[in-house]
Structure 1
Amino acid sequence: MRITHEPFGEWDGQLVTAYTMVNDHGMSVTSLDYGCIITSVLTPDKNGKIENIVLGFDTIEEYREHSPYFGAVVGRVAGRIKNAEFELDQKTYQLAANDNSNHLHGGVQGFDKVIWKTEMVKHEDWVRLEFTYLSKDGEEGYPGNLQTKVTYTLTNENELQIAYRGESDKRTLLNVTNHSYFNLSGNVKRDILGHQLTLKSSSFVELGDDLIPTGQILPVENTPFDFQSGRKIKDGATSEHSQNILVGNGYDHPFLLTENNRNEIILVDDESGRMLTVETVQPAVVLYTANQLGDHFSMRGVQSRNYLGLCLETQGVPDSIHHPHFPPSILEKGELYQSTTKYKFSVV
């Protein structure tokens, strides 16, 4: 088990550093102190060939100019908040409106666009990166000085564990996730339409025309949103279901999980044999199939296009502050926010 680090670039006068964790089997995870971005995850396929299975760039300038949150930690609140405002304790807070009139993924200068203080921790059976950041009272419109910690731990079982902690001196909102785009084909050889996804979820959240939850929770049965027995991602891309069409022919929806920490999310690419199993304490996962990725940039020699990756954003339900029947994302003053998600990489 080892950790190495090297300069990745410079932004706004600050050095950006890349940290690479490597286990005894040759699996590695490289991440930046800028946005806690996971820029590569190298895992073997069924023939033992080690390749990168996440989308990313090789320069900080590309991340700044083109990245649709590739690999980043997003917050304070992941997803959209309607009209970029919310009310807490009879006070209205106006947030940064960075998605038309709405607030998206923490705002203009969210967790994904700041440099985190980083420490390396080594153990016989695991290595860890500890990222910390103080989000000051009023940042992007949120109340409270929020002390945040994100840890990435790589084990010899080819498991990446991501843990989040937060504590604020005022009542505030907090709902953090990682926004990695997975493509198990390796080095983006194919799109993800042939990937098979299994989700322990019997319901999903309906979206309105602005991609904000309407408040309605819909059953997945007899729809392209039923992943309980596994289905190909292409089913959503070719579907005539109004919710698939709404988000650009695919998925960009929160699914409510029926179980936690019990292999509740499984993604498989038959051709490479790679399998990703995700376990979390969170109530939901947002499945996004890169329906809006577009073709206006390239990444590591590959031209971008829709469906080149998919996100499994384990989190609370977006815009829950406006829907009291959703699991709340309110963090009380002095309360400790804690959340953990595990990503197990294997072959079938």
Structure 2
Amino acid sequence: MKVYIKPFGQLNDQAFDEIFIENKHGVIVSFSDLGARINRWQVPTDTGQLDDIILGYDNAEHALVARTYYYGATIGRIAGRIKNGTFRLKDKVHELNINNNDHHLHGGQDGYDIQKWAYDVVEGDNQVSVIFKYTEQDGTSGFPATIHNLVTHTFDNDNNWTINYFAKSDDMTIFNPTNHVYFNLNGSEHASIKNHILEVKASKFLPIKEDAIPTGEIESVENTPFDLRTPTVFGDLFTSEHPQFKIVDGFDHPFVLDSNSLYALRILHPDNERSIIVTTDRPVVVIYTHSAVPVPTSIWGHDLEPYAGLTVETQAAPDAINRPQFGSVLLEKGDTFESTTCYHLSF
């Protein structure tokens, strides 16, 4: 396997790197120490070109300008929204940075996605790992306790991209990381993902309000456009008048994964035979179908348009700290958080 590093630009007088890994199939992925993110996943075509199958940034400056899309970034300390930016812990109400309407989103203004992470590259015969390290100090964005984070991205000769999360806290806090990768298996043509086939092994989903905060209910997917337990063309769902689908003209919803499935979800392209299979130990996947483009930008030389990508965020349920029925996101003092998600490419 080949490894090479290129400059990724500067922010706030800090220089960032982009670490490229190429496997024996000529598939290339890149990671950056800006937000411990995946930035490219390039697949060779029959014509000898490389197709980008995820959305990413040209450089660090671009990542800041279009930050609200969070392409490929590690998200923390908490993924998703926290209602009104407040939660109670040990009889104390904590007030977080408000950065999404009236709510806290994805760690706030000082979230993991905009931080410079230290890193080491570990090379093996059949895989390469990039181990990113970042310590988030007590009080950052309003969160209690200091957390020591390791996020390891591994890419191998079997076209597996695996993320391993490891964290420890010096006091009780809340923790729910994810990665914010967006897929578009059309590749560099960047046609809409409405032609993608989705399969999600989830019998339940969490309805949301207009502001994307979960209502607190857990509903069956039966007889709704959220029933993706069998492969479904995303574009075919637009005939639905289901009010939850109409909120964002697509998905921005948590799906509660069935625990007895071999994989969590699958994304397929009907024509070029590319597919992504996701396995995870997390209980929920948030799927967002990029129906809005509030910040105009270009991705890989193309103007960004609605439905340019499909994000797959494996995590615990958003706003779980305020919704006990969603499960716990507590991280106790001295305890270890560990989690693994793997994305397998076939083409």
Query: CA offset at residue 274 of structure 1?
Result: 0.3
Shift of 1:59: 2.1
Contact 1:294–1:306, Cα closer than 8 Å, also in 2: no
Counterpart of 2:85 in structure 1 is 84
Do 2:163 and 2:340's aligned partners in 1 also have CA atoms closer than 8 Å?
yes
Pair 1:73–1:260, CA change in 2 (3 A): farther
Whether the aligned pair in 2 keeps the contact of 1:238 and 1:249 (CA below 8 Å) is: no
The equivalent of 1:119 in structure 2 is 120
Task: Give the direction of change, closer, same or farther, for the CA distance of 1:140–1:171 in structure 2 (3 Å limit).
Answer: same
Aligned residue in 1 for 2:105 = 104
SS at match of 2:254: strand
Take 1:143 and 1:210, find their aligned partners in 2: how far apart are those partners? 26
- Contact between 1:254 and 1:286, CA under 8 Å: does it hold in 2? yes
Q: One-letter code of the match for 2:149? A: T
Q: 1:31 maps to what in 2? A: 31
1:46–1:224 CA distance, 2 compared to 1 (3 A): farther
CA contact (8 A) 2:153 2:163 kept: yes
Question: Residue 187 of structure 2 corresponds to which residue in structure 1?
Answer: 186
Q: Partner residue of 1:267?
A: 267
Q: Which stretches in structure 2 are left out of the alignment for 5+ residues?
A: none
Tell me, yes or no, if the aligned pair for 2:148 and 2:167 is still in contact at 8 Å: yes
Figure out how many residues of one structure are paired with residues of the other and give that number: 346
Distance 2:253 2:155 in 1: 29
Whether the aligned pair in 2 keeps the contact of 1:165 and 1:336 (CA below 8 Å) is yes
Kindly report structure 1 stretches of 4+ aligned residues shifted beyond 2 Å: 43-50, 235-239
RMSD of aligned alpha carbons: 1.5
State the match for 1:144 in structure 2. Answer: 145
Output the CA distance in 2 between the equivalents of 1:99 and 1:87. 20
Give SS of 1:317's match: coil
Q: Using the alignment, how far apart are the partners of 2:315 and 2:46 within structure 1?
A: 31
TM-fit CA distance, 1:194: 0.8
Inter-partner Cα distance in structure 1 for 2:229 and 2:337? 30
Q: Distance in 1 between matches of 2:326 and 2:48?
A: 43
Displacement of 1:295 in angstroms is: 6.7
- Aligned-residue offset at 1:26: 1.2
1:305, CA displacement in angstroms?
A: 1.1
Distance change in 2, residues 1:321/1:265 (3 Å): same
Does structure 2 conserve the Cα–Cα contact (< 8 Å) formed by 1:297 and 1:304?
A: yes
Aligned to 2:244: 243
Tell me the residue number matched to 2:233: 232
* Partner amino acid, structure 2, of 1:263: Y
> 2:9–2:15: 8 Å Cα contact kept in structure 1?
yes
Q: In structure 2, do the counterparts of structure 1 residues 212 and 5 end up closer, same or farther at CA, with 3 Å as the change threshold?
A: same
Write the deviation string for residues 189-224 of structure 1: whole angstroms up to 9, x where unpaired.
311001001111101001122211111011101110
Q: CA deviation at 1:125?
A: 1.4
Give the Cα separation in 2 of the matches to 1:151 and 1:261.
25
Q: Which has the higher helix share?
A: 2
Residue type of the alignment partner of 2:234: I
Q: Does the aligned pair in 2 maintain the 1:45–1:273 contact within 8 Å?
A: no
TM-score by length of 1: 0.96
Which residue identity is paired with 2:346? S
Specify the code of the residue in structure 2 equivalent to 1:338.
E
- Point out where structure 1 has 5 or more consecutive residues left out of the alignment: none
Matching of residues 41-80 of structure 1 within 5 Å: 41-44=41-44, 50-67=50-67, 68-80=69-81
Residues 66, 295 of structure 2: 8 Å contact kept = no
SS at match of 2:326: coil
Q: Which residue of 2 aligns with 1:318?
A: 318
1:312–1:104 distance in 2 versus 1, CA, 3 Å: same
Q: CA deviation at 1:261?
A: 7.1
CA displacement at 1:227 relative to structure 2: 0.3
- Shifted more, 256-265 versus 56-65: the winner is 256-265
Question: What SS is found at the alignment partner of 2:110?
Answer: coil
Q: Which residue of 2 aligns with 1:159?
A: 160
Provide, for residues 259-297 of structure 1, a one-character-per-residue CA deviation record: whole Å limited to 9, x for no partner.
367222110001221010000000010010001224722
Aligned to 2:256: 256
CA distance, structure 1, for counterparts of residue 261 and residue 166 of structure 2:
18
Asked whether the equivalents of residues 118 and 131 of structure 1 are also in contact (C-alpha less than 8 Å), the reply is: yes
Deviates more, 1:274-283 or 1:19-28: 19-28
For residues 260 and 50 of structure 2, the distance between their equivalents in structure 1, rounded to whole angstroms, comes to 30
Within 2, Cα distance between the matches of 1:237 and 1:112?
A: 32
Identity in percent:
38
Alpha-carbon displacement from aligned partner over 1:143-168 (angstroms, at most 9, x marks no partner): 11100010000111110000111100
1:82–1:319 Cα contact (<8 Å) kept: yes
Q: Secondary structure at the match of 2:246?
A: helix
**Alignment CA distance shift 1:260-1:290 (3 Å):** farther
Alpha carbons of 1:117 and 1:200: their partners in 2 closer, same or farther (altered >3 Å)? same
Structure-2 residue corresponding to 1:209: 210
Do the aligned partners of residues 180 and 188 (structure 1) sit closer, same or farther apart at CA in structure 2, a change above 3 Å counting?
A: farther
Deviations 1:219-264 (A, max 9, x none): 1011100000111122444431111111x20000000000367222
Change in CA separation of 1:170 and 1:46 when aligned onto 2, cut-off 3 Å = farther
Q: Give 1:91 shift.
A: 0.7
CA contact (8 A) 2:190 2:308 kept: no
Note the C-alpha offset of 1:135: 0.1
Whether contact under 8 Å (1:294, 1:304) holds in the other structure is no
Please state if 1:171 is matched with 2:172. Answer: yes
